[in-house]
């Protein structure tokens, strides 16, 4: 979207090209001359000059790669926002200092403030290795869904579910009356825990354990 760009000139050019490509499904990528003509039709105030458009179209995108551009800027954004949030927490803690007269309480507050500062100023960023710079490469969006599936034991059902049940999901089977979907609280089923131990349990016991926080694959 155009508002992703802070630069007004890039916003303007991108918006025009985007609108053209959306309206013309079979359109090919416009040439530099065609982009210039599009810009001239919409640029009533003369915002975009030939030199500006040339600098936009000749930008070397390799200079804005993930490691040298995207990741440092993303890390800076994380750190700035952590510092903002931490500053608020330190101020809130400092407001209670006037009510402290005991050394242990003072030390406790000092440790809390130190802990907040250490946390928000940490540059150990826990971010996903994939920053999304391969968004325009369809082959990189293919996922091995079989790693996150559990076989039902029925080939037809597994096919309908694209290789089986999703791990960590609650699946409900529905059917018309008298079609074999009914079971009782005492019905025995086989379950597999996260440590891969398979055991037998009653359905009533299963739901009771789930309500207590028990988890299954």
Mark which of 142, 164, 183 sits at the end of a domain.
Answer: 142
Structure confidence at residue 122 (pLDDT): 84
Q: How far is residue 74's CA from residue 76's CA, in Å, rounded to a whole number?
A: 5
Convert 179-198 to b/e letters by CB count within 10 Å (16 or more is b): eeeeeeeeeeeeeeeeeeee
Domain boundary among 38, 59, 80: 59
Model confidence over 156-174: pLDDT tens digits?
A: 888 888 888 887 777 777 7
- Inter-residue contact 167 to 145 (CB < 8 Å): no
Query: 90: which 2 tokens?
Result: 């330190």
How many domains are contained in the chain?
Answer: 3
d(CA 121, CA 87): 10
Q: Whole domain around residue 109: which residue ranges?
A: 62-142
Whether residue 22 lies inside any domain: the answer is yes
Average pLDDT, the chain: 80
Q: 29-33, 37-41, 138-142, 175-179: which range is least confident on average?
A: 138-142
| Whether 22 and 41 share a structural domain | yes
Last residue in a domain, options 11, 35, 59: 59
Same domain, 42 and 70: no
Same-domain status, 135 and 174: no
Measured distance CA(141)–CA(143) in Å, rounded: 6
pLDDT tops 70 at residue 138: no
- Does 216 map to a domain? no
Whether 44 maps to a domain, the answer reads yes
pLDDT the model gives residue 8: 84
Q: Is 191 helix (H, G, I), strand (E, B) or coil?
A: strand
Does the pLDDT of residue 205 top 60, yes or no? yes
* Rounded distance between C-alpha atoms, residue 38 and residue 23, angstroms: 13
Quick one: pLDDT at residue 1? 46
> 174-188: per-residue pLDDT in tens?
777 766 666 677 888
For residue 99, tell me if it sits in a domain: yes
pLDDT above 80 for 40: yes
Mean pLDDT of 135-150: 69
Confidence band of 77 (pLDDT split at 50, 70, 90): confident
Distance CA 20, CA 13 (A): 11
Q: Identify the band that residue 7 occupies on the pLDDT scale cut at 50, 70 and 90.
A: confident
- The band of 78, judged by pLDDT with boundaries at 50, 70 and 90, is confident
Q: What is the mean pLDDT of residues 33-52?
A: 89
State whether residue 85 is helix, strand or coil. helix
Q: Are 119 and 165 members of one domain? A: no
Same domain? For 72 and 25 the reply is no
Give a yes or no: residue 188 inside a domain. Answer: yes
Asked whether residue 140 carries a pLDDT value surpassing 80, the answer given is no
3-class secondary-structure state, position 192: strand
**pLDDT at site 107:** 92
The confidence score (pLDDT) of residue 2 equals 47
């Amino acid at each position: 979207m155009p508002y992703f760009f802070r630069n007004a000139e890039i916003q303007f050019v991108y918006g025009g090209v985007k609108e053209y490509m959306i309206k013309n499904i079979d359109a090919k990528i416009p040439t530099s001359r065609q982009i210039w003509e599009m810009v001239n039709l919409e640029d009533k105030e003369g915002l975009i000059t030939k030199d500006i458009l040339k600098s936009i179209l000749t930008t070397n995108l390799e200079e804005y790669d993930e490691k040298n551009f995207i990741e440092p800027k993303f890390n800076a954004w994380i750190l700035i926002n952590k510092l903002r949030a931490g500053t608020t927490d330190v101020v809130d803690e400092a407001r209670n200092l006037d009510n402290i007269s005991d050394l242990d309480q003072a030390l406790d507050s000092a440790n809390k403030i130190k802990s907040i500062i250490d946390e928000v100023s940490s540059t150990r960023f826990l971010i996903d290795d994939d920053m999304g710079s391969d968004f325009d490469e369809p082959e990189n969006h293919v996922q091995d869904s079989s790693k996150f599936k559990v076989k039902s034991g029925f080939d037809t059902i597994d096919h309908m579910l694209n290789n089986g049940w999703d791990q960590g999901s609650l699946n409900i089977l529905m059917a018309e009356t008298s079609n074999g979907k009914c079971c009782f609280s005492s019905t025995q089923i086989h379950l597999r825990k996260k440590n891969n131990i398979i055991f037998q349990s009653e359905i009533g016991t299963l739901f009771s354990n789930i309500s207590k926080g028990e988890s299954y694959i």
